[in-house]
Structure 1
Amino acid sequence: MDLHTGMQKMSILYQTGKGVSCLGCRGMCKAFEPHPWRKICKSCKCNQEDHNLHSDAEDDRKIGRLLADSNYSNLTARVKGGDGVRIYKRNRMIITNPNVTKKDPTFDTVTYEWAPPGLTQKLAIHYMELIPKEMQPIAGTEGAYYRRKQLMRQLPVYDQDPFQCHALSESEVKTMEEFVRKYKSESLGVGEVALPGQVGSAKEKANQKQKIEATGQFGNGKIAKGEPQHGPASTNGTPTKAQEKNEYRCELCKQPVSNENPVVYGERAGYDRLWHPACFLCSWCREPLVDLIYFWKSGKLLCGRHFCESEKYRCVACDELIFSEDYVESEGLTWHKKHFCCLECEQPLLGKSYELEQSKLSCTSCYKSTKKI
C-alpha cells in the first residue's frame, strides 16, 4: 500500500469516528457521530478535537497543504504517486538513555512527536525543557494529545481548503482561494529556533545585509528611525559586543534572554525580535503556537484560527469562515443565515424568538426543556 492510499483509508476511518471515544465528556460518548455540517458530535455535542479524530498522516497532509506554495514549502515533501500532494516533513526526535540501575543493560526511549528542525539534539532537548512539561509532545502523554488538539483548533483544514467547507458557491470558492493565497504570501510564517544572535538561515543573512545597506544610506553609520538600538546580529552568526552583554529581551515578557538558551525567531517579524520558547504565543488566545506556525499581523503573532477571524467572520454553528454577505449577527456573534437554527432540534430561528447562552443558540422550547433536566 502506498502512502497516499494509506492516508485515504485512514481518513475514512477517522471521519466515521469508529472507536474514538470523547475526551471532552470523559468517555461518556464512546464513538464520534458526525453532524452533517456542524463540527461537533451529534451524540455528545462536543467538538471534533475532543474526539481526537485525526491521525498523524492526516495532520501531516493538512500542514503540508498549508505550507505548500509558500516561503516554507521546504518543510514539505511530495507524496510519491500523490498527484502533486505534499506532506509536512515533521521533525520527530527519539532520545535513548541507558538504564544503569539494572543488571542487564536496557534503554529508556522517549519519542517527541514534534521537535524544532535543524537543531542538534542537545539544543532541541534544551528547547523542550523551556516549555511547560504538560505541553511537551512526548508520545503517549497529555502533551502529545495537546499538540494534536491544537493542530485541529489553531489550523482547521476548512480555513485553507474550500472543498472541506460546506456547500460554498462558486464565487465563494474563488474568494476563499484568493484569501488563502494572500495570507500564505503576506502573513504565514514558521518560527526558527536558535541561540540568540545565531539564526543560521540564509534568509537571516539577507535580512541583515538589507539592514546594513539601509542604515548606510543615512551616512556615518547612524541608525535609521525604527531600527533596534542594540544593533543587528553580526552577519557571520556570532553575537556583537552589545549582545554579549545580554541585551536581548523577549518580545512578549520583555525579560532578558540568556545567550545560552534557545529562543524563537519569526522571519515575518524581523530578526531583531525574539521570544522565549514559552512566550511564542498567539496574542489573541494566549496559547502556544503549535509547531511554531504563526501568522504575523500588525506587529502581533496570531494562530491560524485567530488570524482568519481578524480578517473574516466565522459562523458559530459550522465553525467555517463566512465569504458572503448573507449572514446573521447577534450579540457580537455571526452565523450563515442557513445555519441560524436551534442546536437541539435544528429549527430555523430567523424571525423567531430564541435563547443565546455561551454561544449556543436554542429555540425557546428546547431551552426550557434543557433547563428542566
Structure 2
Amino acid sequence: MEIEKEMKKATLGHEFGAGAACLKCKDKCEGFELHFWRFRAEEFNVLSKIILITGGKYTCLLCSLISDKFEFSPLHQAVRYIELLPPEKRPVAGTQGAAYRRQQMDRQLPEHDQDPSKCHELSPAEVKQMQQYVRKCKDEALGVGDVLLPEEVAQIQAGGTGAAAAGSGGTPGRSCHHCKKPMLLGEPAVYAERAGYDKLWHPACFVCCTCSELLVDMIYFWKKGKMYCGRHYGDSEKPRCGGCDELIFSNEYTQAEGQNWHLKHFCCFDCDCILAGETYVMENDKPICKPCYMKNYAVRCASCQKAVEPEAQRVSYGEHHWHAEPDCFKCSGCTKCLIGQRFMAVKNCLFCSVECKKKVMT
C-alpha cells in the first residue's frame, strides 16, 4: 500500500478540520482548534508528542515521533516511519493495521497487569505487592520509543555539536540491534532511552524479544539487555495464572499442565471444585474433576457397559472401547481373552476366529 497515495495530502491537525464540532458535544462544541506550539516539552509535561496525520478516510496518531532533543520533525519522516512497517501492521484508521494495533494493545498491555482494581479479589497483601511491582516497572523498565534519524542520534552522542553526516548510504558502525543490518542515513530509526543511544532499531524490528510482535505505540520494557512488551515483561517477573490471566502475587500457587495457577483458579471447568491435590483429567485442554469426567466425558465399555475410569487401561477400536481386562476384552463366541491376541471386530462384538463369528452372527 502506498501511504502517500492512500492519504493523498498529509496535513497537520491545525490545517485540517479546524473548527469541526466534537462528535460528542456536537452543536454545543465551540469547534476544534489545535495550537501546535502547545506540544513544546518546556511548557507542557507530556509523556510523548503527537503528530496528527489526516487526509481522505485515513487518520492515525503517531506517538513520540518528535524527539525531546529537537523542536520539529518533518511530517514526511512520520509518513516514512509508517511505510517502513509491515503493510498489515500500519496503524491507519479503517485498515487491518488499526485492528492489529487494538488487538496488540489489549494483549501487550493488559489492564490487570497495571491496576489492582481490575484484578479478582486480591488480598490487601497482594494489592501491596502489586503496587510495588507497578512502581518497579515504571522506575526501572518502562519507556516509550522515540523516532530519530541515525545522524541525529550521532549528533546527540557527540554532544549536540557539529553537523550531521550527509549521504544516503549506511551509517558507519551503526546497525539495527535486532536484525544486525545497517541503519540507513535519512531513514527513521527507533531508539529507546533505557537501552541507550548506542542502540537503534528499524521501525519493523522494534519488537518484543518473546513474542516478536511490534511493540504497540512503541511502549517497551527494558530488562537485562532485552526488549519486552508489557505482558512478557510481567511474565519474566511473576508467574501468570492460566485461569484468570492475572499475575500471581500470592506466595501459594500451583503448577499443572505447564502453567501456573492461583489455588482457587485451578478448578474443574464443569463444577468449579478446587483441583489442587485432587485427581483431574484434561479434556479439551481444560481440567475436569474425576466425578465430572465420569459423568460427562468417560467412554463406556462395549462389553460391560460401565464407564471406563480415566486411569484404567482400555482398548479402543474405531468408535468402540473395552476395559483391557479378561472379563471385558474377550471373544463373544468362546470367551477367550483377546488381550495381546489377533481378533476380529464386528460392531461392538469381538471374535478370535471366523468360526466363532459364524456361531454368534448366524
TM score, norm. by length of structure 1: 0.60
Quote the residue 2:60 is aligned against. Answer: 112
Quote the residue 1:321 is aligned against. Answer: 247
Change in 2 beyond 3 A, CA 1:263/1:362: farther
How far off its partner does 1:161 sit?
A: 1.1
Pick aligned residue for 1:164 from 95, 111, 118:
118
Pick aligned residue for 1:179 from 113, 133, 146:
133
Change in 2 beyond 3 A, CA 1:352/1:92: farther
Q: How many residue pairs end up in the alignment? A: 249
Quote the residue 2:94 is aligned against. Answer: 140
Quote the residue 1:281 is aligned against. Answer: 207
Find the aligned partners of 1:243 and 1:272 in 2 and give their Cα distance.
20
Pick aligned residue for 1:236 from 142, 161, 166:
161
- Superposed CA deviations along residues 59-86 of structure 1, whole A, max 9, x for unmatched, are xxxxxxxxxxxxxx9445xxxxxxxxxx
Gaps of 5+ in 1: 1-5, 7-72, 77-88, 97-107, 209-232
| Residue pair 1:197, 1:237 contacting (<8 A) in 2 also | no
How far off its partner does 1:361 sit?
A: 2.8
Quote the residue 2:151 is aligned against. Answer: 197
Quote the residue 1:305 is aligned against. Answer: 231
Alignment of 1:37-116 (within 5 A): 74-76=45-47, 91=50, 93-96=52-55, 108-116=56-64
Greater percentage in helix: 1
Q: Does 1:339 align with 2:277?
A: no
Name which one, 1 or 2, has greater alpha-carbon Rg. 2
Change in 2 beyond 3 A, CA 1:95/1:169: same
Pick aligned residue for 2:192 from 263, 266, 291:
266
Code of the residue aligned with 1:110 in structure 2: it is: Y
Greater percentage in strand: 2
Find the aligned partners of 1:170 and 1:317 in 2 and give their Cα distance.
21
Change in 2 beyond 3 A, CA 1:337/1:110: same
SS of the residue corresponding to residue 257 of structure 1 reads strand
Code of the residue aligned with 1:117 in structure 2: it is: L
Change in 2 beyond 3 A, CA 1:238/1:345: farther
Change in 2 beyond 3 A, CA 1:256/1:312: same
Code of the residue aligned with 1:304 in structure 2: it is: G
- Superposed CA deviations along residues 202-260 of structure 1, whole A, max 9, x for unmatched, are xx95xx4xxxxxxxxxxxxxxxxxxxxxxxx5523744699976222000100011112
Find the aligned partners of 1:275 and 1:368 in 2 and give their Cα distance.
56
| Residue pair 1:198, 1:238 contacting (<8 A) in 2 also | no
User: What's the C-alpha RMSD, in Å, of the aligned pairs?
Assistant: 3.0
Find the aligned partners of 1:122 and 1:190 in 2 and give their Cα distance.
21
Pick aligned residue for 1:127 from 63, 68, 81:
81
Pick aligned residue for 1:254 from 161, 164, 180:
180
Find the aligned partners of 1:74 and 1:371 in 2 and give their Cα distance.
63
TM score, norm. by length of structure 2: 0.62
How far off its partner does 1:90 sit?
A: 7.7
| Residue pair 1:194, 1:262 contacting (<8 A) in 2 also | yes
SS of the residue corresponding to residue 94 of structure 1 reads strand
Quote the residue 1:227 is aligned against. Answer: none
| Residue pair 1:262, 1:276 contacting (<8 A) in 2 also | yes
**Could you tell which deviates more after superposition, 323-332 or 259-268?**
323-332
Change in 2 beyond 3 A, CA 1:239/1:356: farther
How far off its partner does 1:172 sit?
A: 1.1
Gaps of 5+ in 2: 1-23, 25-43, 67-72, 300-362
Quote the residue 1:81 is aligned against. Answer: none
